[in-house]
C-alpha cells in the first residue's frame, strides 16, 4: 500500500541499540564470574578472537554509556551474564555480579536511558551444561531462580525484560553460535527437548515477572524473518509454509498462545523428535502471557520445495542467516531480487515491513525490534574517521519500513539495532563490526581499545533528535 502521508513515530518511541554480555563485556573471569558455554569452548573459528576481553565494556561502561547518551538513546538493550549473578548457574549468588549490573543500570538512568534487559543471550553457565544443560529439566528451575534474583535486584529500576535471545537460532544453528553441546547423542531429538524446556522456563519467568513486578513488561526475543516461496509453484509455497512454521511460528505461537504450532508439531513427529511434555507443562505454557514481542531481524529467507535427493542441506548450511534446508521439508534458496552483504546475508528492508505486519496480524501485541544491522569490515581512516555510509544506508532503509509498518497500523514501540558499539560477532570475530562506535582493536591485538565515533554515530544522533524526521 502506498500512502499519501506517513504516520509519525510515536512521541515515546524507544530509539536505542543493543549488545549482549559475552560479546561486549570481556572480564570473562573477573569478580567471581563463572565460565559460560562460550568461555568453555575448546576452539573458535580460525583467525577469530575469543571473548575474554571483547570490547572491555565491563571496565569502560561509564564511558560507553556517556557516548550512548550523546547519541540521544532513549533505551539500551543489554544482556545480563547469568554466570556473573550465579557463577555455577544454580548455586550461590555472586554479590559483585549483582553490583556490576546495578551500577550499569544506575548509570543508564542517570541519563534517562531506559534499560531493556535480556535475561539470557546464548551464554548458559557451563556448570549447568556439564549436567546436561537444557536437556535437564533442572535447568528450568535454575532459570526460574535466576529470574527471581534479577527481578528482586533490578525490578525497582528495570521496566522491560526479554526472556531468551533467539531461542530459535540456538535450536536451528547452535553449532555456528557455539551454544550446541557437541556431545549430544541424538542432537535433533535432544534439541527439541531442550526447546521445550526453554519454552517452559520462559513461561515461568513471564509468570514470575508478572507476580513480582506488576508494573514491568516482559516478552520473548526470537529472530523472526518471513520466508518467501521461491516461486508461485504450489510446492514452493508449501515449503515456505513449512519453514515459517519451524523457524518462526513454533516459537511465537507457544510464547503467545501456549500451544505447539500444528505444522511444527507434525514436523517433529515425522522427524521423531517430539519432546516429552511433563504433567503441568501445558498449563504453565498456556497461562503465561507476554506483554509484547521483541524480535531480531537481519534478512528474509527464501524456500523452495525439497528435492528429496540428499542435496537439500548440502553446502548452503553455515550460520544463522544463511539458507539451509531439510530433506522432505524445504530447500533453502537465494532471492534473485536482493543484494547480499559481505557475509552472504541478503538485505531486505521491504521484507522487514512484511515481517512486522505478519507478526502483528498473528499476535496483536506491541512490537519492539531488538536487533537489526549490518556487519561490515569498517576501516579506521586517518584522523579517527570511519565512513560507514553502507551502514547508514542499511539502517535508513529499514527504519523507513518501520515507519511504513506503523502507517499500516502495526504497533511498534522501539527500535534497538545491533549494535550500540563494536563487539565480537558470534562466530566471525571482531573484524565484522556492527557498532555506531568503533572499538580500536584487532582479532589478536588489543591495541588501546579506544572508542571512536563513526559517521553512523552522528547520523543516528540526528535521527533520534528529530524522532525519525531526518530519514529523508
Task: Output the CA angle 327-329-334, nearest 5 degrees.
Answer: 90
Residue 157 CA to residue 155 CA, distance in Å, equals 5
Nearer to ligand BGP, 132 or 344 (CB): 344
Q: Whole-number minimum distance, CB 102 to ligand BGP, in Å?
A: 24
Q: What are phi and psi of 283, to 5 degrees?
A: -65, -45
DSSP state of 134: G
Nearer to ligand BGP, 190 or 319 (CB): 319
Q: Identify the active-site residue in 166, 190, 304, 326.
A: 166
Q: Whole-number minimum distance, CB 409 to ligand BGP, in Å?
A: 28
Nearer to ligand BGP, 121 or 196 (CB): 121
DSSP state of 157: T
Nearer to ligand BGP, 165 or 403 (CB): 165
Q: Whole-number minimum distance, CB 347 to ligand BGP, in Å?
A: 14
Q: Whole-number minimum distance, CB 370 to ligand BGP, in Å?
A: 9
Could you identify the residue written with the cell 530509539?
Answer: 15
Going through 275-403 in order, the beta strands assigned E by DSSP cover: 293-296, 301-304, 325-326, 330-333, 339-340, 346-347, 367-371
Binding-site ranges for ligand BGP (CB under 6 A): 20, 23, 165-166, 169, 223, 296, 319-320, 371, 375, 418, 425-428, 432
Q: Given the DSSP bridges, would you call strands 301-304 and 330-333 parallel, antiparallel or unpaired?
A: antiparallel
- Do 77 and 118 meet the contact criterion of CB atoms below 8 Å apart? yes
Could you identify the residue written with the cell 539470557?
Answer: 120
* Sequence-separated (6 or more) residues with CB below 8 Å from residue 373: 298, 391, 394, 395, 417, 418, 419, 434
Q: Whole-number minimum distance, CB 46 to ligand BGP, in Å?
A: 16
**Pick from 161, 169, 74: nearest CA to 118:** 161
User: How many C-beta atoms lie closer than 10 Å to residue 390's C-beta?
Assistant: 15
In three-state secondary structure terms, 361 is helix
Cell of 374: 549490518
Nearer to ligand BGP, 223 or 263 (CB): 223
Residue 208 CA to residue 423 CA, distance in Å, equals 32
Q: Whole-number minimum distance, CB 104 to ligand BGP, in Å?
A: 18
Nearer to ligand BGP, 181 or 371 (CB): 371
Q: What are phi and psi of 278, to 5 degrees?
A: -75, 160
Nearer to ligand BGP, 84 or 173 (CB): 173
- Minimal CB distance to ligand BGP: which residue? 425
Nearer to ligand BGP, 20 or 263 (CB): 20
Residue 403 CA to residue 8 CA, distance in Å, equals 7
Q: At what angle do helices 95-110 and 138-154 cross, to 10 degrees?
A: 50
371 labelled catalytic: yes
166 labelled catalytic: yes
Q: Whole-number minimum distance, CB 361 to ligand BGP, in Å?
A: 24
In three-state secondary structure terms, 116 is strand
Q: Whole-number minimum distance, CB 194 to ligand BGP, in Å?
A: 17
Residue 198 CA to residue 191 CA, distance in Å, equals 10
User: How many C-beta atoms lie closer than 10 Å to residue 238's C-beta?
Assistant: 17
Determine whether 272 is exposed, middle or buried from the number of CB atoms within 10 Å of its CB (0-12, 13-18, 19+): exposed
Catalytic residues: 166, 371
Amino acid at each position: 500500500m502506498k500512502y499519501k502521508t506517513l504516520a509519525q513515530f510515536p512521541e515515546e518511541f524507544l530509539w536505542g541499540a543493543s549488545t549482549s554480555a559475552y560479546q561486549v563485556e570481556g572480564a570473562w573471569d573477573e569478580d567471581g564470574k563463572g565460565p559460560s558455554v562460550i568461555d568453555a569452548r575448546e576452539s573458535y573459528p580460525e583467525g577469530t578472537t575469543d571473548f575474554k576481553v571483547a570490547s572491555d565494556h565491563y571496565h569502560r561502561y561509564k564511558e560507553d554509556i556517556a557516548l550512548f547518551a550523546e547519541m540521544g538513546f532513549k533505551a539500551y538493550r543489554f544482556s545480563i551474564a547469568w554466570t556473573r549473578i550465579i557463577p555455577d548457574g544454580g548455586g550461590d549468588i555472586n554479590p559483585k555480579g549483582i553490583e556490576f549490573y546495578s551500577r550499569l543500570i544506575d548509570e543508564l538512568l542517570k541519563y534517562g536511558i531506559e534499560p531493556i534487559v535480556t535475561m539470557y543471550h546464548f551464554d548458559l553457565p557451563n556448570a549447568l551444561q556439564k549436567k546436561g544443560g537444557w536437556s535437564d529439566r533442572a535447568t528450568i528451575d535454575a532459570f526460574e531462580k535466576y529470574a527471581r534474583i534479577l527481578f528482586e535486584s533490578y525490578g525497582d529500576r528495570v521496566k522491560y525484560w526479554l526472556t531468551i535471545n533467539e531461542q530459535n537460532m540456538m535450536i536451528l544453528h547452535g553449532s555456528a553460535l557455539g551454544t550446541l553441546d557437541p556431545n549430544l547423542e541424538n542432537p535433533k531429538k535432544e534439541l527439541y527437548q531442550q526447546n521445550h524446556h526453554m519454552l517452559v522456563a520462559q513461561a515461568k519467568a513471564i509468570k514470575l515477572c508478572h507476580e513480582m513486578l506488576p508494573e514491568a513488561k516482559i516478552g520473548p526475543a526470537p529472530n523472526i524473518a518471513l520466508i518467501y516461496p521461491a516461486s508461485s509453484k504450489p510446492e514452493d509455497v508449501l515449503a515456505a509454509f513449512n519453514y515459517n512454521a519451524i523457524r518462526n511460528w513454533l516459537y511465537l505461537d507457544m510464547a503467545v498462545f501456549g500451544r505447539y504450532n500444528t505444522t511444527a508439531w507434525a514436523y517433529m513427529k515425522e522427524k521423531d523428535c517430539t519432546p516429552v511434555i511433563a504433567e503441568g507443562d501445558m498449563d504453565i505454557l498456556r497461562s503465561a502471557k507476554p506483554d509484547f514481542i521483541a524480535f531480531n531481524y537481519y534478512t528474509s529467507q527464501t524456500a523452495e520445495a525439497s528435492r528429496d535427493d540428499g542435496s537439500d542441506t548440502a553446502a548452503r548450511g553455515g550460520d544463522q542467516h544463511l539458507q539451509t534446508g531439510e530433506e522432505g521439508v524445504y530447500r533453502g534458496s537465494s532471492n534473485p531480487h536482493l543484494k547480499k552483504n559481505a557475509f552472504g546475508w541478503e538485505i531486505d528492508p521491504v521484507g522487514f515491513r512484511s515481517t512486522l505486519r505478519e507478526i502483528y496480524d498473528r499476535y496483536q501485541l506491541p512490537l519492539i525490534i531488538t536487533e537489526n544491522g549490518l556487519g561490515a569490515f569498517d576501516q579506521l581512516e586517518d584522523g579517527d574517521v570511519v565512513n560507514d555510509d553502507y551502514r547508514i544506508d542499511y539502517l535508513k532503509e529499514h527504519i523507513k519500513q518501520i515507519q511504513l509498518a506503523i502507517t499500516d497500523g502495526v504497533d511498534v514501540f522501539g527500535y534497538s539495532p545491533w549494535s550500540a558499539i563494536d563487539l565480537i560477532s558470534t562466530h566471525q570475530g571482531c573484524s565484522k563490526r556492527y557498532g555506531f562506535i568503533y572499538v580500536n582493536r584487532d582479532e589478536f591485538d588489543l591495541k588501546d581499545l579506544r572508542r571512536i565515533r563513526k559517521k553512523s554515530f552522528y547520523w543516528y544522533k540526528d535521527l533520534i533528535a528529530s524522532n525519525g524526521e531526518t530519514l529523508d
